[in-house]
Amino acid sequence: MSTLTAPSRIADLLKQWNITKEHSGVSTGKNWLKGEGGRLVSTSPVDGGQLGVVRGASRAEYDHCLATSQQAFLEWRSWPAPKRGEVVRQFGEELRKHKAALGKLVSYEMGKSYQEGLGEVQEMIDICDFAVGLSRQLHGLTMHSERPDHRMYEQWHPLGAVGIITAFNFPVAVWSWNTALAWVCGDVTLWKPSGKTPLCSLACQAIIAEVFSRNQVPEGVSVLLNGAREVGEWMIHDERVPLISATGSTQMGKAVGTAVSQRLGRSLLELGGNNAIIITEKADLNIALHAALFGAVGTAGQRCTTTRRLIIHSAVYKAFTEKLVAAYGQLRIGDPLDEKNHVGPLIDRSAVAAYLNALKAAREQGGRMLVEGGVLEGPAFSTGCYVKPAVVEADPEMAIVQEETFAPILYVMRYTGDVKEAIAVQNNVKQGLSSSIMTTDMREMEQFLGAAGSDCGIANVNIGTSGAEIGGAFGGEKETGGGRESGSDAWKVYMRRQTNTINYGTTVPLAQGIKFDL
């Protein structure tokens, strides 16, 4: 194993953020509470090393944090948006300084490759840059009134407290997507991280706390609430939290959406993906190979945008699958902090069990293994979390193909007709996050992107299903939840719209010509 993964080295890494072996996971900013709730043990899937213990929030601490954030909101919303943007700009600068260290922590605690850990921190930096510009562009519309001497316009105001529930696979980036935008919009944020990656959240809170302190940002603008599932339950049922942004499984999202809607709150849901790449007979197979390979094995298949299905035209099916099998034979699996490796471990053994169950189901349902899967054994894989990326020749109607398995399993299938047939196969799943087509034919491309084409929130041409850019709105349709984060006008979900009418005349025209003899 790489010397970078030695527990002593990680302990040294954590010291720069003043994170001790046992640390509170509850903070209102620069102030850390005791953490009187349950204890979370952070264990690396890389080598099984115990990284630390994080103490979660009690109900009393949760209520204290929320009250502090509500008080902070009263001041924070009155700061000019560009001034809030300046604070976020400084956060981005601090992230640049901590990029290597935070990237290592992400890699070691979560298990993704070091390169991907660095990429995740870069996403944080990028959203800060985006949010800084956005802080001067929170614009509404001006409209002509039907009444004389009147003017109408729309403006946007902050909502208040934004609850953020994040998953283990992107332990820092998704939080930043929400917070950077929410902060420049004038909101305060409450973050419930995954219990599988709590140390990453402590590092982020330590970095932002220093920035907030030197800018005299009120305590409570950034609240951290580690803990068990019950902490998230408190948040989603709390009427004091008008918006819940939740990332996770479709099952989790349905529960969150139901609870929040019952209190007429708002939900931003980023849920499951069952993403496909269509490879037409007019595709550049070299481009398609690179896109499919990274999309399928990146983060060991633990991305919501992971490529899970390849829909390949029969004319190129044999040639492409031969290239694909050969490429899989060159994958290096192991310590993710060793930059020579392409694939790290799954997050834990429960994820491994789900992977094995999916392969078993695929065989039972008639799938044929083109690249055999399995759990890797030996001293370098002692955690039992390292698995072989698998490729399964499958029928699109197989039940297991319709599901999302958070692991590196790629299903390949063929089509024989025109691109409309392939699009129908792609769309015939419950999820609708990301999609891609590989083609050099403009007509095929336009059909894929048209109203009768891909039904996903993301539709790409000649690039893979993963690797979304900050500038575009990120999210999907159907059981993916319908939410949008990050770029474009996604900022509007963190604000409330207000329509204003101004009468600068000397009379008050009433509706339907009504008059009062006054």
Catalytic annotation on 65?
no
d(CA 34, CA 62): 12
6 Cβ contact list (under 8 Å, min separation 6) = 49
Contacts made by residues 64-68, CB under 8 angstroms, sequence distance 24+: 64/28, 64/33, 65/26, 65/28, 65/33, 65/190, 65/220, 65/223, 65/225, 66/161, 66/190, 66/223, 66/238, 66/240, 66/241, 68/28, 68/219, 68/220, 68/223
Q: Residue 491: what residue type?
A: W
| CA separation for the pair 341, 183 (Å, rounded) | 37
CA distances from 134 to 125, 127, 164, 184, 469 (A): 14, 10, 20, 8, 16
Q: Which of 61, 123, 219, 270 is catalytic?
A: 270
- B/e letters for 461-490, b = 16+ CB within 10 Å, e = fewer, are eebbbbebebeebbbbebbbbbbbbbbeeb
Structure tokens at 165: 């529930």
Q: Which two tokens stand for residue 224?
A: 């951290």
**Amino acid at site 91:** F
Cβ(54)–Cβ(40) below 8 Å: yes
| CB-CB contact of 72 with 220 (8 Å) | yes
Residue-wise burial string across 431-447, b where 16 or more C-beta atoms lie within 10 A, e elsewhere? bbbbbbbbbeeeebbeb
Q: How far apart are CA 207 and CA 172, in angstroms?
A: 12
CA gap 441, 291 in Å, rounded: 18
Q: Which of 431, 387, 424 is nearest to 409 (CA)?
A: 387
- The answer to whether residue 200 is catalytic is no
From the list 304, 393, 444, 479, the catalytic residue is 304
Q: How many helices (H) and strands (E) in the chain?
A: 13, 23
Residues annotated catalytic, as ranges? 270, 304
